[in-house]
Amino acid sequence: MKEKRIRGVAASPGIAIGPVYRYEPVPIHVEAETCQDVSAELARLEAALVEARQELRLLAEQASKSVGSKEAAIFSAHELFLQDPELLQQVQQRIRQRQSAAFAWQEGFQYYIQQLGAIQDEYLQARVLDLEDVAQRVLRHLTGQSEQSLQPSAPAIIVARELTPSALMRCPREAILALCTAQGGPTSHVAILARALGVPAVVGLGEEDLAALRSGQVVIVDGEQGLIVVEPKEHELLIYQQRRRLLQEQALQAEQSRLLPACTSDGRCYPVRANIQAPEEVTEARACGAEGIGLLRTEFLFLDRSQAPSEEEQLAVYRAIIEATQPAPVVFRTFDIGGDKPAPYLSLPREPNPFLGVRGVRLGLKQPELLRTQLRALLRAGAGRELRILFPMVSSFEEIEALHQLTQAVREELRQQGQPLAERLELGVMIEVPAAALLTEAFAEIVDFFSLGTNDLTQYTLAADRTNEGTASLADPFHPAVLRLLQLTIEAAHRRQRRVEICGELAAEPLAIPLLLGLGIDELSMVPRAIPRCKQVIRRWTQSEARQVALQALQMRTAAEVRSYVRACSTDELAARADDGREA
């Protein structure tokens, strides 16, 4: 058979080689049914809900032990769906209209699934699969059907149209070589679990490419590049086997030196910090060699709940994180909710394009009491220390002025109340949209530092959704247009003696390191697991080498040219080889 290459969306790094195992569960579908005894059907519904909640709690316990508390929260969120009063009221009403419990549950849930499925948005699309998983769980109990387990007889590459978190967690880890799905994106819950398990994953393949993958076929999965090689030739197998060995060797070396500083071979040292989104991740970050927290996503306190967190609740959490991280700094990003990350208690209208909607500081300025409460908690939590606050989704000078004024008003309010405050306060701005990059020098009149959010910056600059299989290949942060915006931002900030850090996924990509160093980045922040490798790559470059690479890359016309050039002159053999598959 002729070798075939399939492109998808990179969701979890690593290389796997093995046979395909097609997982094709048949969803439960209930035909329209009526009931005679409404009370009995309501009781049947309640019994099924109780059993489903018990299963989810067991899954959460299992996930907490195997992948961590943050990932286990996925199943706690599933349990919240079962407590949604609006949903339960609708299902109960259907039963009172003499629909069977199973049919009423199916139709009630289907309404919510259709509502979310109609919105083309990464975050909400991930929630659709969660809803379907929860709906099927309760239907199994109402119909007496057993779960269709994911149980390959030998280690395999799991291929499915879609894969639920619960199916993945019930499968033995040793049986999973890699995951490949037709649907989903890099922020889906299955992608999150795959990264936590250390399993390579490629998602967003689409139906046509999914059909090309059959059980028993030998494939190579390159999770770093979002590439699947079907029925590879002998020489291709040898290349990837060698790359896999190199990855393992480099990972071991990086792990052994993870606690050492990240200094170039000519002596310039770069702080490497961690991106986290839950207090429990602080320990992991420190263990991976993080020199502080470069991005704390505070929205974990605001999502999946019925009301906004109080000032005291936020204060306790922020203070605990500062204490756990001392003496290293923590950068607190104010909540980035609204739009694609809805909070039900805010009663926000659904938007046709959430990524361009009311989110981040746009929401904070529309509902200032919500932001004021968070600022009060942060300023109090930093009492006696340095505090760094980062504002997301800023696109205008007026927003910066308003945010600065609100922060100063909150500081003065707390002083008058006699509350202890942070000794030194630094305010920062996320550079996520081209407008913010172009206004960096103006912003620097007010703020103290900048943080490059290259995920959104790439998406907005190139008008390409990286979670859409049709446009994912276009959303390449190595594109010269993106690199020139990074250069513009860094140079403008440095003219005003302002620090620039990067917290986007580009910071964790080994091949990007010389570009970032050469462009003049001051600090890097990334997911904890990427820190050892990042530090290792930094140590293999000099500043002058990196500057030369960046200057040449800025003159190029395409992302492919940039990648090819950086790969050719890279002093890191593994980073170069790890990138080979992207353009093939």
Place of tokens 């979670």: 467
pLDDT bucket at 394, cuts 50 / 70 / 90: very high
Range list of β-strands (E), 193-265: 201-203, 218-222, 227-230, 262-263
Last residue of a domain, one of 86, 118, 143: 143
- HSE toward the beta carbon, residue 287, CA cutoff 13 A: 6
Annotated binding-site ranges for phosphoenolpyruvate: 297, 333, 455-456, 466
- CA 564, CA 559: separation in Å to the nearest integer? 9
pLDDT digits (tens, 9 = 90+) for 176-230: 999 999 987 776 778 888 887 889 999 989 889 999 999 999 999 999 888 999 9
Number of domains, the chain = 3
425 located within any domain: yes
Measuring CA to CA, how many Å separate 110 from each of 115, 126, 312?
9, 15, 38
The per-residue pLDDT for 574 is 45
pLDDT bucket at 466, cuts 50 / 70 / 90: low
The token pair at 560 is: 């492919």
Helix (H) or strand (E) holding 6: strand 4-7
Nearest to 534 by CA among 547, 521, 544, 548: 521
Place of tokens 């049914």: 33
pLDDT digits (tens, 9 = 90+) for 395-432: 999 999 999 999 999 999 999 999 999 989 999 999 99
Task: Please tell me whether residues 138 and 158 are part of one structural domain.
Answer: no
pLDDT bucket at 131, cuts 50 / 70 / 90: confident
Task: Please tell me whether residues 318 and 361 are part of one structural domain.
Answer: yes
307 located within any domain: yes
Task: Please tell me whether residues 461 and 497 are part of one structural domain.
Answer: yes
Task: Please tell me whether residues 183 and 275 are part of one structural domain.
Answer: no
Q: Is the peptide bond before 352 cis (omega within 30 degrees of 0)?
A: no
153 located within any domain: yes
What mean pLDDT value characterizes the chain? Answer: 88
The per-residue pLDDT for 509 is 86
The per-residue pLDDT for 338 is 63
Report phi then psi at 553, rounded to 5.
-65, -35
> Could you tell me if 219 and 231 are in contact, meaning their C-beta atoms sit under 8 angstroms apart?
yes
Task: Please tell me whether residues 12 and 63 are part of one structural domain.
Answer: no
Whole domain around residue 559: which residue ranges? 260-582
> Cα 424 to the chain's mean position, in Å?
31
Residue 5, beta-bridge partner list: 229
- CA 551, CA 115: separation in Å to the nearest integer? 48
Place of tokens 């580009």: 506
Residues involved in catalysis = 189, 503
CB atoms within 10 A of CB 202: 31
Task: Please tell me whether residues 137 and 179 are part of one structural domain.
Answer: no
Query: Taking residues 339-343, what's their average pLDDT?
Result: 60
Q: How many helices (H) and strands (E) does the chain have?
A: 23, 18
Query: Taking residues 561-568, what's their average pLDDT?
Result: 89
- CA 425, CA 330: separation in Å to the nearest integer? 12
The per-residue pLDDT for 80 is 77
Task: Please tell me whether residues 185 and 132 are part of one structural domain.
Answer: no
The token pair at 264 is: 């170039």
Annotated binding-site ranges for Mg(2+): 432, 456
Query: Taking residues 503-521, what's their average pLDDT?
Result: 93
Nearest to 425 by CA among 457, 465, 381, 473: 381
Annotated binding-site ranges: 297, 333, 432, 455-456, 466
> Could you tell me if 418 and 395 are in contact, meaning their C-beta atoms sit under 8 angstroms apart?
no
Nearest to 214 by CA among 233, 229, 230: 230
Query: Taking residues 118-128, what's their average pLDDT?
Result: 55
Task: Please tell me whether residues 428 and 493 are part of one structural domain.
Answer: yes
> Could you tell me if 435 and 395 are in contact, meaning their C-beta atoms sit under 8 angstroms apart?
yes
Task: Please tell me whether residues 11 and 65 are part of one structural domain.
Answer: no
CATH number of domain containing 166: 3.50.30.10
The token pair at 55 is: 């299963």
